[in-house]
């Protein structure tokens, strides 16, 4: 009867009957049961007991571990979920421990029973789970700060190279913008709005407890066990200066005791171009040129260049977009082995990822190897290591999307000998053949080697005391090499080599002290750490190669204008931190932290140190006696936190007025020169964010509805701004502490179990967050700083421009309002009513920061089948749209058909005429909001009967589609992504501008060429061996 | 015991880190030079001068807005728009010239970046250690003063009252106000008169460096602008009398054995420098192919040379000047009315007027004269053009930069400035004699004193200096922009009024100057 009650509780009210982890104490309710069992121990059975383990739908669960508590005796269930276990004679109060990954563990006192039916409840998002927090872990129910755990299933079965892509739209308050789809590119992440204008806005990345010097691209998503995102001041203050933009904690998988688990996960599938712009076809291109010549009053001809005439007359056209395209594909293969004994545990994994871009020449591949080992050496000493190696490259010459968009459809692609023409539409030399990049020799690769070691000492003579030292070192060499030869149209040949090397180390000394006195629980943490980052790069360029055979491999053979340069940089950070967590009876929670950081990047005339304190309170209302005996409200927790964090995410040496190195020649002899380059600011200091966080966690109707509502109010003062100053001083910008910005926001996350049938379930997870950004003041002026686009009382990312009201038509006379205008020019509103359009007619129109965004995931399961549909939305974005600005006056270059132009006949009120030169630099602000069917995954987990026949541990297959459909009003490639509009000319006239040599801490892969969004379909397979 | 040892070791490790805190957090940039570490010895000052010259060179060698050079020629009497890029359009369609004008902003920024680099050298020389010879400090400072005067002269000519910055700025200043033209002029004149005695004369100065003559010529021009005609005459005469320079009157240099004339020889790559035989050049900005640090993105060829290769039967060749774009075209006044008598400066080697089909693949037309074109073909494809900017690199037919020296000052102009100073004092005979120096050299008819007036001098400047002179500066300086442009080239301009004699102060500088008001020029 007791067991029955327990089972009932276990099945239906998992929260109140479950245990956090094996290490945690048994909850009070259960302890009564166990205590009874102890009393009845003389009645306990000896010999075999049998039973069946059922899942939440009542189906037998194979592979479940059943162990006799306190012994090594155990077994696993068979394919039907049945088990048999011998209870040795004389076992005192025998208890069965029934556990399976992903399910809540149960302990069952055997008593006099010999047959058991155990129903395991899935371990859903319950408050007893353990979450990783800064420098440690905590029970979810004891957390006072704002810690979002990424749903585990977001990390699986989604075809992405970078785990951040999988998080897009999945976590409230986390804005992830993929500014490029180039294979291997890195998305930008913002947590709770933009706090800083100039200093870094990307969150701090911590992997397995130590700061990670690389980026998320280096981490294989398959190795990740969990991701936690720290959002409020209380949880991030512990990272002090690095915490301002939030913290992402990544925990990689580690070995568990038991026999080796061998797993393979893999997927592969095709990729397609979406959200396209379509260059005008032949007749439309010719019509556009003729309209342009008419509007400009120049000689009429069907095409701009004589070199296009033959093809025009013959009606031969080329589709440049088709020429640069190829079938894209993506694949990933991952194998891992994990396991261990009581004292030594291991996890080893290897991964190969390859993406072939949808534009010719683009590819990205990565190999990663990880080995995590933990060893308990004595009862007081534990050591472990993580070794991680990754090598990635996006080698290869590339076709050019921006050129393909502007080249004439009447151009000539190939020379008679089959090579590419350099200039497809002679005598035009402004735009080159979009395929020429395929002839370049190009290498771009990064290797990363990271080694982390830790040792934990737990002195047996002081209860609850633990000392831990973490040391991590990372070495990250990169190389970029490029050679453009004769086929590229470079008659001398030009080679460039950039080698760089990053070295980072962190040493952390941590002291923990953990004690409980009755219902009082104390948890103290103290830290002393030092971090250093070093960067060194060399760049060599040369031209004048004998031929194109060798290229950059023998850069010394370039006879003309060789140049070499190098750059070196270092930054250091010293930190001390202390934290106290206190809770009373898991009802009243209290956290106080303080961190003191000293950073090298701040000025000699300012304090390099700053202290960042925070405090947090929590109240588990549902644990109060007056709420105990009701079933509507299963979780209710109130949280409040307040604290300060800092930001030092600026490049070193900004405090020093420096010169730029250059070359100059007198009389044909090269000499080295130095010129004023930038003005230093010796008073540069921390940017500090003080924020308050108010939150409610709730669980209703036996946790069928769970969720969190949070409100935050964060003020960032001494904002670091690379502020523009009048060029009259000789400098155009200075890095300065200016002003205050406020971010307020509301975040909502709700998960509802809509249908919980035996065979069918439907679960919805919804998150939505809104952020209001407001510039409160500027230190150096009480007025708006129009030049820097900073408006007091308005949001950052301000769009400040004229108000377009239409287009001047032929029957209208613009003289009274805009004397320079002619028919076909844009018509602007005369805001101040002075009868003319001047700079005073500009106003604040909106912000490029989204007003709100969200995601909704619906998961349906039917037996082994599950379907997950994820929709993401980003709303309230106003962005300048460079696609709408005619380059080269809309003349000789092609334009997308989606863009269009005014003619006297169509009398467009939206688009200007082709000869419009945009004399006021109107930037065409456009609504950049969008909603995306981001991904859909259909998964099938094979039933035990089949797995058994195949002699496997687990087997599942899935198909997944990504970026399936986008709803937006944006005209352009993709509202989310940033495209540089040079219409090819920028790339050709100054090819070296694409290579950001010697820039501080930038990745050689950091410059994103134009690349469209891709739609991906994959087929995936997960296999676990027995 | 073991545990105790371990704990102490950890504590020791922590302590040892704390003890080196200060050093750990200090910023000592390993690869960055600063003014404090550089301006202490002559090598440091030499590097700063090379840096300053590289900034100065950017005035007319940018590519970002390729039409930029057109701002100095279009909307004046000498040129009309051709295949325009965009930046130059408000300089002939003056209705579009507003405070957000890109070209004005580029030039304004260039001037103040130059001035800042000058200020650093001048202040650095004043405070340099005593181990550095005073003579050297004076000379390097004098070179910087020349460039500072050049930049301020440019600024105040085009904008009138401008902020005067005479020391390096070390903190973010946003409180600039406009200094009256008279004070700016006094400042310029002081810089130049201070500089002249300390500068080397041309025969001693190294190639590419500023010699005395350049400062004298600039001072002469400043005196003209400030209507101090006697001082102008005196300083220009001193320049001529120094005998450091001599008009080119005979063939010389790399093409002397090929058809041509000696006026054209001055503008051939390899002939442009003093040590290459050019005795006339006073200040040339040096550029040279395949020499690191000597190439830029200069766009003169694309500006001045037409896009003849757009005509079927015409091929891109070196003898026609390489790949031009014809972004501007000489005005009909220059083409058809400027040269009224035989004149070497109007020879086929200097002003190309006739074209012959040169593409051997087009046998039907090859070798025949190009005729019968109409409309825009005669604006930027086939049209008379000055050959001063011809430049061709066989390995780079696209011709990104125009890599040849830019003649900033030469003795030919000295005589024109002198004539202007003399004319303004009523010395018409002397003025005629000065001009006849050039006309004699050009084998053109002599002028008489009665023919001399300001318009004649400005006409003569166009004949002599077309393509070299920044025409807008001359017309603004002499107060003739509106009258001459309207009279001689009126059809090509729209909306030109007297307000356009001054350019708008760039809106960015006004917007960013939060602590004081920078007033805009009238009617912008």
Give the minimum alpha-carbon distance from B174 to chain A in angstroms, rounded to a whole number: 7
Return the number of other C-beta atoms located less than 10 Å from residue B329's C-beta.
25
Which of A655, A728, A731 has its CB closest to that of B163?
A728
Q: Are B497 and B490 in contact (CB under 8 A)?
A: no
Q: Are A448 and A478 in contact (CB under 8 A)?
A: no
Give contacts of A 268-307 with B, CB under 8 A.
297-299, 305-306
B463 SS3 class: helix
Contact between B48 and A674 using a beta-carbon 8 Å cutoff: yes
CA atoms within 13 A of residue A230's CA, in its CB half-sphere = 33
pLDDT given for residue A152 in this prediction: 67
Whole-number mean pLDDT of chain A? 83
Q: For residue B507, which residues of chain A lie inside 8 Å, CB to CB?
A: 839
pLDDT given for residue A9 in this prediction: 33
B424 SS3 class: helix
Contact between B98 and A919 using a beta-carbon 8 Å cutoff: yes
Distances (CA, A) of A817 to A745, A808, B305, B363, B520: 42, 11, 38, 56, 20
pLDDT given for residue A994 in this prediction: 27
pLDDT given for residue B116 in this prediction: 97
Beta strands in A379-493 (DSSP E): 381-393, 441-457, 465-484
B49 touching A, CB under 8 A? yes
Contact between B172 and A666 using a beta-carbon 8 Å cutoff: no
d(CA A669, CA A665): 5
Say whether pLDDT at A2 is over 90. no
**In degrees, to the nearest 5, what angle opens at C-alpha B174 toward C-alphas B169 and B179?**
80
Q: Which helix (H) or strand (E) holds A767?
A: strand A760-777
Q: Which residues of B399-433 are buried (b: 16+ CB within 10 A; e: fewer)?
A: bbbbbbbbbbbbbbbbbbbbbbbbbbeebbebbbb
DSSP A902: B
pLDDT given for residue B217 in this prediction: 98
Give contacts of B 497-516 with A, CB under 8 A.
506-509, 511-515
Minimum Cα–Cα distance from B2: chain A residue: A459
Q: Are A132 and A251 in contact (CB under 8 A)?
A: yes
Question: What does the longest C-alpha to C-alpha distance in chain B come to?
Answer: 113
pLDDT given for residue A121 in this prediction: 72
Give contacts of B 363-422 with A, CB under 8 A.
374-377, 379, 394-398, 400
Q: Are B83 and B326 in contact (CB under 8 A)?
A: yes
Contact between B168 and A459 using a beta-carbon 8 Å cutoff: no
Mean pLDDT of A986-990: 28
Which of A608, A671, A917 has its CB closest to that of B25?
A608
Return the number of other C-beta atoms located less than 10 Å from residue A959's C-beta.
16
Q: Are A407 and A894 in contact (CB under 8 A)?
A: yes
pLDDT given for residue A686 in this prediction: 86
Q: Are B113 and B120 in contact (CB under 8 A)?
A: no
Beta bridge partners of A855: A767, A872
Give the minimum alpha-carbon distance from B89 to chain A in angstroms, rounded to a whole number: 9
Count residue pairs from A and B with Cβ separation < 8 A: 283
Q: Are B351 and B462 in contact (CB under 8 A)?
A: no
Minimum Cα–Cα distance from A988: chain B residue: B400
Give the residue with greater pLDDT, A742 vs A298. A742
Peptide bond into A946 cis (omega under 30): no
Q: For residue A919, which residues of chain B lie inside 8 Å, CB to CB?
A: 89-90, 96, 98, 100-101
Contact between A457 and B93 using a beta-carbon 8 Å cutoff: no
Which of A659, A668, A730 has its CB closest to that of B51?
A659
Q: For residue A825, which residues of chain B lie inside 8 Å, CB to CB?
A: none
Minimum Cα–Cα distance from A733: chain B residue: B172
Q: Are B459 and B338 in contact (CB under 8 A)?
A: yes
User: What's the pLDDT tens digit per position in A322-380?
Assistant: 999 999 999 999 999 988 888 899 999 999 999 999 999 999 999 999 999 999 999 89
Contact between B31 and A657 using a beta-carbon 8 Å cutoff: no
Distances (CA, A) of A283 to A286, A316, A424, A896: 5, 11, 18, 13
Which of B96, B100, B375 has its CB closest to that of A299?
B375
Q: For residue A655, which residues of chain B lie inside 8 Å, CB to CB?
A: 27
Return the number of other C-beta atoms located less than 10 Å from residue B378's C-beta.
14
Say whether pLDDT at A1006 is over 90. no
**In degrees, to the nearest 5, what angle opens at C-alpha A142 toward C-alphas A138 and A143?**
70
pLDDT given for residue B379 in this prediction: 92
Contact between B113 and A530 using a beta-carbon 8 Å cutoff: no
Contact between B13 and A561 using a beta-carbon 8 Å cutoff: no
Reference A50, options A39, A60, A40; nearest CA is A60
Give Cα A955 to chain centroid, integer Å.
Answer: 29
Contact between A819 and B95 using a beta-carbon 8 Å cutoff: yes
Contact between B495 and A819 using a beta-carbon 8 Å cutoff: yes
Helix ranges, A334-382 (H): none
Q: Which residue has the tokens 């998305």?
A: A187
DSSP B494: B
Q: For residue B7, which residues of chain A lie inside 8 Å, CB to CB?
A: 457, 467
Q: Are A304 and A407 in contact (CB under 8 A)?
A: no
Reference A106, options A92, A91, A121, A86; nearest CA is A121
Q: For residue A598, which residues of chain B lie inside 8 Å, CB to CB?
A: 21, 24-25
d(CA B301, CA B317): 13
Give contacts of B 189-208 with A, CB under 8 A.
206-208
Q: For residue B99, which residues of chain A lie inside 8 Å, CB to CB?
A: 838-839
Give the minimum alpha-carbon distance from B323 to chain A in angstroms, rounded to a whole number: 9
In this prediction, residue B440 has a pLDDT band, given cuts at 50, 70 and 90, of: very high
pLDDT given for residue A26 in this prediction: 34
Q: Which residue has the tokens 């060399």?
A: A538
Whole-number mean pLDDT of chain B? 93
d(CA B410, CA B464): 11
Give contacts of A 740-799 with B, CB under 8 A.
780-781, 783, 785-788
Contact between A672 and B33 using a beta-carbon 8 Å cutoff: no
Token pair, residue A88, equals: 């040795």
In this prediction, residue A44 has a pLDDT band, given cuts at 50, 70 and 90, of: low
Contact between B514 and A785 using a beta-carbon 8 Å cutoff: yes
Q: Are B462 and B334 in contact (CB under 8 A)?
A: yes
pTM, two decimals, is 0.80
Task: ipTM value, please give it.
Answer: 0.94
Token pair, residue B265, equals: 């020889």
pLDDT given for residue A888 in this prediction: 65
Mean pLDDT of B304-314: 93
B270 SS3 class: coil
Region for A951 from its dihedrals, namely left if φ exceeds 0, alpha if ψ lies in -120 to 50, beta otherwise: left
Contact between B176 and A457 using a beta-carbon 8 Å cutoff: no
In angstroms, how far is the first alpha carbon of chain A from the final one? 36
B98 touching A, CB under 8 A? yes
Say whether pLDDT at A32 is over 60. no
Contact between A561 and B98 using a beta-carbon 8 Å cutoff: no
A48 touching B, CB under 8 A? no
Reference B158, options B113, B207, B110; nearest CA is B110
Which of B31, B176, B312 has its CB closest to that of A568?
B31
**Rounded to 5 degrees, what are φ and ψ at B357?**
-55, 130
Say whether pLDDT at A17 is over 50. no
B461 SS3 class: helix
pLDDT given for residue B21 in this prediction: 63
A604 touching B, CB under 8 A? yes
Contact between B515 and A601 using a beta-carbon 8 Å cutoff: no
**Rounded to 5 degrees, what are φ and ψ at A794?**
-115, 175
Mean pLDDT of A612-617: 92
User: What's the pLDDT tens digit per position in B263-272?
Assistant: 999 999 999 9
Give the residue with greater pLDDT, A100 vs B186. B186
Per DSSP, the residues of A770-813 read EEEEEEEEBTTBSS-BTTTTB-TTS-SSEEEEE-EEEE--TT--
Give contacts of A 161-180 with B, CB under 8 A.
none
A84 touching B, CB under 8 A? no
Give the minimum alpha-carbon distance from B139 to chain A in angstroms, rounded to a whole number: 17
Q: For residue B323, which residues of chain A lie inside 8 Å, CB to CB?
A: 429
pLDDT given for residue A839 in this prediction: 85
d(CA A766, CA A751): 6
Q: What is the CA radius of gyration of chain A?
A: 32
Beta bridge partners of A190: A175
A163 contact partners, CB below 8 Å, separation of at least 6: A155, A216, A219, A221, A224, A227, A250
Which among A468, A546, A665 is the top mutation candidate for probing chain B, defined by the most B β-carbons within 10 Å of its own β-carbon? Answer: A665
Token pair, residue A596, equals: 């003191």
A346 SS3 class: strand
Which among A534, A610, A664 is the top mutation candidate for probing chain B, defined by the most B β-carbons within 10 Å of its own β-carbon? Answer: A664
Region for A585 from its dihedrals, namely left if φ exceeds 0, alpha if ψ lies in -120 to 50, beta otherwise: left
Per-range mean pLDDT, top range of A525-534, A562-571, A775-784, B209-218: B209-218
User: What's the pLDDT tens digit per position in B265-298?
Assistant: 999 999 999 999 999 999 999 999 989 899 999 9
User: What's the pLDDT tens digit per position in A521-570?
Assistant: 999 999 999 999 999 999 999 999 999 998 999 998 888 778 888 999 99
Give the minimum alpha-carbon distance from B102 to chain A in angstroms, rounded to a whole number: 9
A283 contact partners, CB below 8 Å, separation of at least 6: none
């Amino acid at each position: 009867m007791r067991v029955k009650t327990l089972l009932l509780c276990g099945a239906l009210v998992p929260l109140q009957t479950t245990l956090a982890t094996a290490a945690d104490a048994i909850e009070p309710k259960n302890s009564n049961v166990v205590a009874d069992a102890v009393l009845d121990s003389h009645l306990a059975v000896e010999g075999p007991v049998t039973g069946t383990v059922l899942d939440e739908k009542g189906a037998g669960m194979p592979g479940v571990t059943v162990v006799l508590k306190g012994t090594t005796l155990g077994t696993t269930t068979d394919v039907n979920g049945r088990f048999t276990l011998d209870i040795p004679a004389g076992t005192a109060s025998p208890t069965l421990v029934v556990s399976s990954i992903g399910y809540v563990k149960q302990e069952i006192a055997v008593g006099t029973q010999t047959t058991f039916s155990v129903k395991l409840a899935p371990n859903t998002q319950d408050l007893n789970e353990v979450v990783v927090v800064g420098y440690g872990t905590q029970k979810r129910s004891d957390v006072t700060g704002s810690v979002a755990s990424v749903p585990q299933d977001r990390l699986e079965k989604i075809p992405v190279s970078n785990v951040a892509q999988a998080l897009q739209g999945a976590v409230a308050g986390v804005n992830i913008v993929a500014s490029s789809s180039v294979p291997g590119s890195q998305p930008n992440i913002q947590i709770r709005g933009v706090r800083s204008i100039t200093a870094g806005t990307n969150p701090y990345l911590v992997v397995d407890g130590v700061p990670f010097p690389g980026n998320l691209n280096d981490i294989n998503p398959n190795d990740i066990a969990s991701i936690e995102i720290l959002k409020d001041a209380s949880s991030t203050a512990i990272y002090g200066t690095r915490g301002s933009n939030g913290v992402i904690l990544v925990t990689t998988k580690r070995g568990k005791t038991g026999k080796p688990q061998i797993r393979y996960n893999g997927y592969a599938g095709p990729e397609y171009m979406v959200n396209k712009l379509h260059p005008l076809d032949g007749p439309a291109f010719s019509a556009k040129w003729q309209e342009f010549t008419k509007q400009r009053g120049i000689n009429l001809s069907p095409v701009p260049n004589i070199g296009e005439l033959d093809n025009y007359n013959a009606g031969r056209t080329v589709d440049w977009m088709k020429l640069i395209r190829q079938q894209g594909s993506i694949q990933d293969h991952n194998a891992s082995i994990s396991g261990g004994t009581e004292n030594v545990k291991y996890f080893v994994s290897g991964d190969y990822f390859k993406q072939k871009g949808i534009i010719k020449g683009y590819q990205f591949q990565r190999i990663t190897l990880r080995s995590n080992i933990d060893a308990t050496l004595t009862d007081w000493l534990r050591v472990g290591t993580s070794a991680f190696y990754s090598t990635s490259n996006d080698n290869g010459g590339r076709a050019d999307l921006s050129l393909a968009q502007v080249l004439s459809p009447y151009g000539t692609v190939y020379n008679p000998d089959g090579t590419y023409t350099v200039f497809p539409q002679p005598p035009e030399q402004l735009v080159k053949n979009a395929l020429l990049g395929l002839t370049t020799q190009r290498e771009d690769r990064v290797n990363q080697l990271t080694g982390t070691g830790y040792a934990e000492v737990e002195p047996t003579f002081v209860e609850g005391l633990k000392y831990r030292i973490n040391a991590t070192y990372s070495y990250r060499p990169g190389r970029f090499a490029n050679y453009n030869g004769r086929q590229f149209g470079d008659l001398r040949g030009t080679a460039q080599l950039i080698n760089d090397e990053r070295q980072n180390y962190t040493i952390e000394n941590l002291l923990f002290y953990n004690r409980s006195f009755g219902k009082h629980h104390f948890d103290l943490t103290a830290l002393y750490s030092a971090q250093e980052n070093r960067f060194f790069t060399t760049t060599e360029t040369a031209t004048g190669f004998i031929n194109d055979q060798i290229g950059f491999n023998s850069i010394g053979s370039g006879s003309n204008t060789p140049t070499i340069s190098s750059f070196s940089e270092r930054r250091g950070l010293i930190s001390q931190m202390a934290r106290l967590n206190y809770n009373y009876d898991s009802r009243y929670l209290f956290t106080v932290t303080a961190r003191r950081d000293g950073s090298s990047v701040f000025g000699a005339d300012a304090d390099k140190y700053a202290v960042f304190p925070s405090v947090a309170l929590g109240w588990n209302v549902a644990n109060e006696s007056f709420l105990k005996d009701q079933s509507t409200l299963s979780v209710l927790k109130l949280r409040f936190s307040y604290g300060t964090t800092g930001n030092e995410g600026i490049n070193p040496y900004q405090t020093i007025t420096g010169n730029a190195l250059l070359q100059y020649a007198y009389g044909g002899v090269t000499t080295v020169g130095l010129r004023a380059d930038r003005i230093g600011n010796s008073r540069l200091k921390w940017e500090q964010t003080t924020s308050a966080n108010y939150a409610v966690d709730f669980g209703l109707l036996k946790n069928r509805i769970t969720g969190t509502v949070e409100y935050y109010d964060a003020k960032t003062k001494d904002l670091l701004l690379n502020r523009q100053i009048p060029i009259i001083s000789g400098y155009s910008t200075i890095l300065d502490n200016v002003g205050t910005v406020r971010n307020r926001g509301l975040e909502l996350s709700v998960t509802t179990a809509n249908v919980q049938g035996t065979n069918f379930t439907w679960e919805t997870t919804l998150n939505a967050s809104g952020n209001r950004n407001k510039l409160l003041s500027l230190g150096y002026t009480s007025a708006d700083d129009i030049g820097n686009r900073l408006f007091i009382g308005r949001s950052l990312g301000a769009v400040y421009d004229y108000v377009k009201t239409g287009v001047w038509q032929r029957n209208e006379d613009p003289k009274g309002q805009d004397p320079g205008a002619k028919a076909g020019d844009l018509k602007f509103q005369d805001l101040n009513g002075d009868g003319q359009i001047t700079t005073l007619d500009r106003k604040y129109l909106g912000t490029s920061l989204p007003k709100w965004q969200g995601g909704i995931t619906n998961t349906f399961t039917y037996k082994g089948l599950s379907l997950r549909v994820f929709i993401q939305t980003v709303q309230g974005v106003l962005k300048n749209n460079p696609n709408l600005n005619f380059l080269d006056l809309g003349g000789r270059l092609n334009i997308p058909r989606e863009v269009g132009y005014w003619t006297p006949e169509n009398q467009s009120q939206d688009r200007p005429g082709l000869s419009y030169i945009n004399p006021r630099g109107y930037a065409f602000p456009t609504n950049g909001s969008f909603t995306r069917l981001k991904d859909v995954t259909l998964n099938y987990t094979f039933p035990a009967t089949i797995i058994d026949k195949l002699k496997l541990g687990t087997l599942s297959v899935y198909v997944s589609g990504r970026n399936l459909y986008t709803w937006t009003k944006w005209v352009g490639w993709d509202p989310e992504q940033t495209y540089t509009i040079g219409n090819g000319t920028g790339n050709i006239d100054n090819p070296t501008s694409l290579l950001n040599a010697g820039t501080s801490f930038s990745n050689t892969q950091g410059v994103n060429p134009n690349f469209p969004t891709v739609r991906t379909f994959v087929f995936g397979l997960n296999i676990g061996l027995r | 015991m073991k545990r105790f040892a371990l704990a102490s070791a950890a504590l020791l490790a922590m302590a040892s880190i704390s003890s080196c805190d200060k050093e750990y957090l200090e910023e000592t940039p390993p690869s960055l030079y600063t003014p404090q570490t550089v301006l202490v010895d002559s090598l440091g000052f030499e590097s700063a001068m090379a840096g300053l010259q590289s900034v100065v060179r950017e005035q007319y060698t940018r590519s970002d807005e390729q039409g930029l050079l057109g701002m100095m020629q279009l909307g004046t009497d000498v040129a009309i728009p051709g295949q325009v890029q965009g930046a130059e359009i408000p300089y002939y369609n003056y209705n579009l010239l507003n405070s957000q004008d890109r070209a004005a902003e580029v030039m304004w920024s260039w001037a103040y970046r130059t001035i800042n680099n000058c200020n650093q050298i001048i202040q650095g020389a004043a405070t340099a250690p005593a181990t550095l010879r005073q003579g050297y400090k004076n000379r390097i400072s004098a070179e910087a003063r020349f460039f500072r005067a050049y930049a301020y002269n440019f600024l105040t000519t085009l904008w009138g009252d401008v902020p005067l910055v005479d020391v390096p700025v070390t903190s973010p200043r946003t409180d600039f106000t406009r200094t009256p033209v008279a004070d700016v002029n006094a400042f310029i004149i002081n810089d130049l008169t201070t500089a002249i005695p300390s500068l080397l004369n041309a025969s001693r100065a190294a190639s590419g460096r500023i010699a005395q003559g350049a400062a004298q010529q600039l001072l002469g021009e400043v005196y003209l602008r400030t209507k101090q005609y006697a001082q102008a005459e005196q300083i220009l005469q001193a320049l001529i009398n120094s005998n450091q320079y001599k008009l080119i009157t005979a063939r010389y240099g790399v093409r002397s054995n090929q058809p041509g004339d000696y006026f054209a020889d001055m503008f051939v790559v390899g002939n442009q420098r003093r040590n290459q035989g050019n005795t006339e050049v006073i200040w040339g900005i040096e550029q040279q192919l395949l020499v690191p640090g000597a190439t830029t993105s200069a766009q003169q060829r694309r500006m001045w040379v037409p896009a003849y290769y757009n005509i079927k039967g015409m091929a891109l060749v070196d003898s026609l000047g390489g790949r031009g774009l014809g972004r501007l075209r000489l005005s009909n006044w220059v083409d058809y009315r400027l040269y009224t008598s035989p004149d070497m400066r109007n020879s086929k080697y200097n002003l190309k007027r006739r074209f012959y089909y040169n593409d051997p693949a087009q046998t039907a037309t090859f070798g025949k004269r190009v005729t019968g074109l109409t409309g825009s073909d005669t604006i930027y494809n086939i049209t008379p053009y000055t050959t001063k900017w011809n430049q061709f690199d066989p390995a780079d037919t696209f011709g990104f930069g125009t890599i040849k020296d830019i003649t900033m000052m030469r003795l030919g102009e000295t005589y024109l400035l002198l004539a202007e100073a003399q004319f303004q004092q009523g010395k018409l005979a002397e003025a005629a004699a000065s001009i006849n120096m050039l006309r004699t050299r050009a084998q053109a008819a002599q002028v008489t004193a009665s023919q001399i007036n300001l318009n004649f001098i400005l006409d003569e400047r166009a004949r002599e200096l077309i393509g070299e002179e920044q025409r807008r500066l001359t017309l603004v300086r002499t107060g003739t922009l509106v009258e001459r442009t309207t009279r001689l080239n009126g059809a090509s301009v729209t909306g030109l009024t007297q307000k356009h004699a001054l350019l708008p102060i760039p809106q960015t500088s006004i917007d960013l100057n939060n602590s004081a008001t920078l007033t805009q020029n009238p009617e912008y």
